[in-house]
Structure 1
Amino acid sequence: MKHPTEVFEEWAIIGKDKGMEASHSASVSEILDFAISQTEKNSTEFKFLDFGCGNGWVADKLSKNNSCSFSMGIDGAKTMIMNAEKRKSEAVFLLKDLNSFELNHKFDLIFSMEVLYYLENPSSVIKKIHGMLNPNGRFIMGIDHYFENEESHDWQEKVGTRMHLLKEREWLDFFTKSDFKNVYSWRANSNDWAGTLVITGTN
């Protein structure tokens, strides 16, 4: 099987990242509307990180939010970051190995969409993300590949890369064992399918 970064590199080269942007937009909008409204209750401004930013569309969008004082996106695929930089955005984009990254920044809101199940050790990354949050900071993630969504069970074979197929309860446990507070989940954009599994917590 290919490494996940290889797959995303290929997708970025052929322009599939634009399709991902379109297909995820409804779930992402619902997730961000909630996350931003909750974050703004704690502060008049916030710093934002998109973990696994792809072509940068979310970090770019947040950079235009009046309450967002700093927006950053990181990704492991070089061409994804190159596509993000073409946006000429005020957001900062960095090429990072998402399994072993280092950042000298703290954030009030960290977001991740369709990334965590590709990682070698999702639980350790979630714990690391917890340490990157400012007081009262929030991490929120969305995934479509999870056990309760039966339509996603064959994605690993179809895409040809490793994916962790985990139950909702397992993802929630990763959060609680990483010392997140106020942990809960819901399904976004679930009109005619299982929906995007959303999990969030604060530090």
Structure 2
Amino acid sequence: MTIREATDVFSDWALRNRDEGMEYGHAKSVNEMLEIAIPMLKKPFSVIDVGCGNGWVCRQLETYEGCNRVVGIDGSVEMIAKAKQKGSGEFYLAKLPEWKPPQKFDLIHSMEFLYYLKDPVDSLRNFFTDWLNDEGILIAGVDHYLENKASHDWPKSLNVHMTTLSEAEWRQGMIDAGFTDVKVRKVGQKPGFMGTLVISGKKSK
């Protein structure tokens, strides 16, 4: 069976309104991630949401005091179409690692995206070099990781590629990319779910 592109899977989900369930399911983890990241930023600040889906995090970020620009990118045609329908924000249909932003940002946020990349550690290096302003912050959450054994069957059940990294590999990937103040933690824990693995780091001058 041919492996499907994750972006095609997500377009199917958008057409079936499954994006709303993703929004509900990820909200607790994302809120905790933003509570970590936003206080670390100087105002005003700009944000890019990588793998923005229907744009729900972007719309939330627009309400934050001091946020002067929010950009969302996603490789799913239907998800970006929904994002543009639901709000007036700045959204781009784009696939990584090829796409590069026209300007740098103070915060990169990503939820449930990075492990779909063939080489997410290389993308961390690209984020550090080409996407972030000095003193900028990257924060990313993944539910599929080595220690979360419940997620190990996801690639097979969805028939998509996923890169399975351990907590230690994510941490080392951030350090190797050049980030400082690297932290790896879990948020959003609940019965039956060991939590979203959150990686964060700073681009020091």
TM-score by length of 1: 0.95
Which residue in 1 is equivalent to 2:74?
A: 75
| In 2: Cα distance, 1:38 partner to 1:190 partner | 23
| In 2: Cα distance, 1:35 partner to 1:88 partner | 23
Which residue in 2 is equivalent to 1:84?
A: 83
| In 2: Cα distance, 1:107 partner to 1:44 partner | 12
Q: Which stretches of structure 1, 4 residues or longer, exceed 6 Å deviation after superposition? A: none
Which residue in 2 is equivalent to 1:198?
A: 198
1:52/1:98 contact within 8 Å kept: no
Is 2:17 aligned against 1:19? no
Which residue in 1 is equivalent to 2:172?
A: 173
C-alpha displacement of 1:184: 1.0
> What root-mean-square deviation, in Å, do the aligned CA atoms of Structure 1 and Structure 2 show?
1.0
2:119/2:163 contact within 8 Å kept: no
1:17/1:55 contact within 8 Å kept: yes
What SS does the corresponding residue of 1:174 show, helix, strand or coil?
Answer: helix
Query: Which aligned pairs between 1:22-41 and structure 2 lie closer than 5 A?
Result: 22-39=24-41
What SS does the corresponding residue of 2:86 show, helix, strand or coil?
Answer: coil
C-alpha displacement of 1:198: 0.3
Q: What per-residue deviation string (whole Å, max 9, x for no partner) do you get for residues 89-126 of structure 1?
A: 3x210000122112111111100000000012111111
Which residue among 8, 11, 18 is the counterpart of 1:9?
11
Runs (5+) with no aligned partner, structure 1: none
TM-score by length of 2: 0.94
- Total equivalences in the alignment: 199
What SS does the corresponding residue of 1:86 show, helix, strand or coil?
Answer: helix
C-alpha displacement of 1:159: 1.0
Runs (5+) with no aligned partner, structure 2: none
C-alpha displacement of 1:61: 1.0
C-alpha displacement of 1:88: 2.6
Which residue in 2 is equivalent to 1:117?
A: 115
C-alpha displacement of 1:191: 3.2
1:55/1:83 contact within 8 Å kept: yes
Which residue in 1 is equivalent to 2:156?
A: 157
**Alignment-mate amino acid for residue 99 of structure 1:** P
| In 1: Cα distance, 2:66 partner to 2:113 partner | 25
**Alignment-mate amino acid for residue 188 of structure 2:** N
Q: What per-residue deviation string (whole Å, max 9, x for no partner) do you get for residues 74-93 of structure 1?
A: 0000110000001233x210
- Identity %, equivalent residues: 39
